[in-house]
Amino acid sequence: MFAIYAPGEDVARYCYYGLYALQHRGQESAGIAVSDGDNILITKEMGLVNQVFDNRRLATLNGHLAIGHVRYSTTGASTWSNAQPAFKVSASGRGIALGHNGNLVDIGPLALELGARGARCTTDSELLTTLLAERAGAGSGPLDDIIVDACRRISGAYCLAIMDETTIYGVRDPHGVRPLMLGVLDGGGYVLASETAALDIVGATLLREIEPGELVAIDADGIRSRRFASAAPSFCVFEYVYLARPDHRTPETSVYAARRRMGQLLAEESPADADLVIPVPDSGLAAAAGFSQASGIPYAEGLVKNRYVGRTFIQPSQSLRQLGIRLKLNPLRDVLEGQRLVVVDDSIVRGNTSRQLVRMLREAGATQVHLRIPSPPVRHPCFYGVDMATEEELLASGRSIDEICRSLEADSLAYLSLDALISASRRPADSLCRACFDGRYPIPVPHAAPTDTHTTLPVLELAAHG
């Protein structure tokens, strides 16, 4: 997610580069909404950022404020109509565009309420946009107040980039589950982005994180901030493990440094007798370097990644994921032949990648494969915006480490302890969400929370027809 307010600049192109830096956060669709102060124009399509936008398209998006989004679906199908920014026009003619990073929970009552008034929504993000447009159309005051009122009616994980014709808004949920950063351009414009890498790519200087429960509004009068709620912070620890780019910086650490520490701690907790440490690129790279440094076992690159294939875990269906794994990694036989390997991968979610990987490494001549995972076993689903839909899909759910190791056909398997992961993040334990590891959900998840996150939400359909 990316947003910019910068009069005199080519904001669509800034958005394009910002989204390009954030492509790893969503690969199904991309969209940009731009306003010139009077009208909002939106372009969104299925595909990667550089497939959706070219010079010709960007040249049509003129204005001085913009928001952009790359999507991977956790609620609602992967379709054009669900691509973001979502857009609604209020009864008073005001346009509202919205990009959402995260996942709302317990939206049933709101869906029923809007459905009873004829709204037809297929994602939590569309539902929220509809609510904002409805209130704006009813003349319920400034959009800041309308957004704050709406946020008090929802729960879950949400970072939002919202715009009307004149103003961009950045919102972070009261628990601060997902990251949202604020930067400033040399020329004086402001930028909001999910990760600092997107600020870096457009030459913006990082000012600070948007705080949990904070709304910022940026327009011709400058930047305004207000806190609309406070709650115990619960930043997603999986951002450090897998989601964020290694060059993302949180106030405490860079993700790269955290991953390196994870590898070092893993080597101390679970040493292995081996000849080489090899990473599974890219998210295992830093932890493998840390493991090698702490263990003294030489580091080598034994797998070549096709850099033009998307992240396997983030693809929307099982069959696509399996195809992606085979396309993605190729073993280097001259490095691996006759070697006892420590293989460092960031995490094991469904286990598809790991099982195929172990077989592939043996076929390439490795004599032993010791899996070392710099995060704990993922035993619980995420309801806050990461696609780990159901417990049945999770390899570690209900299985011992020995059983997982046998199922992956590895010679040994060890995970990093949760305490060590928390320590590597440099954040206090009670400021982190780690529910996928320990099952303690910081935001209540109603029993009716959708489990198949890639279908149209039944409650919303019901509401629409009810």
Residues of the shown chain interacting with ligand SF4 in the complex, contacts defined by CB under 6 A = 177, 236-238, 382, 384, 386, 433-436
Q: Would you say 268 or 438 has its CB closer to ligand SF4?
A: 438
Instruction: Give the separation between CA 419 and CA 84, rounded to whole angstroms.
Output: 37
Burial of 340 (0-12, 13-18, 19+ CB in 10 A): middle
Q: How far is the CB of 157 from ligand SF4 (least distance, A)?
A: 6
CB of 311 to ligand SF4, least distance (A): 15
Least Cα distance to 69 among 35, 46, 89, 99 occurs for: 99
Amino acid of residue 422: I
The residue (of 71 and 434) whose beta carbon lies closer to ligand SF4 is 434
| In the complex, minimum distance from the CB of residue 435 to ligand SF4, in angstroms, rounded to a whole number | 4
* 188 DSSP assignment: S
Single out the residue of 260, 244, 252, 365 nearest to residue 302, CA to CA.
365
Nearest in space to 368 (alpha carbons), one of 257, 232, 275: 275
Least distance from ligand SF4 to the Cβ atom of residue 389, Å: 12
Q: How far is the CB of 423 from ligand SF4 (least distance, A)?
A: 16
Give 292 or 453: the residue with its C-beta nearer to ligand SF4. Answer: 453
The DSSP symbol for 242 reads I
The phi-psi region of residue 29 (left if phi > 0; otherwise alpha if psi is between -120 and 50; otherwise beta) is: beta
- Closest separation between CB of residue 313 and ligand SF4, Å? 11
Closest contact distance (angstroms) between CB of 432 and ligand SF4 is: 7
Cβ of residue 103: shortest distance to ligand SF4, in angstroms?
A: 9
Closest to ligand SF4 by CB, 236 vs 303, is 236
Q: In this complex, which beta carbon is closest to ligand SF4, that of residue 337 or of residue 438?
A: 438
In the complex, least distance from residue 241 CB atom to ligand SF4, rounded to whole angstroms: 8
Q: Are 53 and 43 in contact (CB under 8 A)?
A: yes
In 3D, which of 301, 370, 304, 289 has the Cα closest to residue 335? 301
Nearer to ligand SF4, 50 or 390 (CB): 390
Q: For ligand SF4, which is the closer residue by CB, 74 or 196?
A: 74
85 or 376: CB nearest ligand SF4: 376
List residues bridging with 45 in a β-sheet: 30
Contact 45, 52 (CB under 8 A): yes
CA 116 centroid distance within chain: 32
Give the type of residue at 157.
A
CB 100 within 8 A of CB 84: yes
Judge contact between 80 and 46, C-beta under 8 A: yes
Residue 159 CB, nearest approach to ligand SF4 (Å): 12
- Give whichever of 280 and 421 is closer to ligand SF4, judged by the CB atom: 421
Identify the residue whose tokens are 């204005």.
63
The token pair at 277 is 């440490």
Choice between 114 and 180, CB closer to ligand SF4: 180
Q: How many CB atoms lie within 10 A of CB 466?
A: 10
Calpha distance 296→279 (Å, rounded): 15
Residue 179 contacts residue 194 (beta carbons within 8 Å): yes
From the CB of 246, what's the least distance to ligand SF4, in Å?
17
What is the Cα–Cα distance from 187 to 72, expressed in whole angstroms? 33
Cβ nearer to ligand SF4, comparing 171 with 386: 386
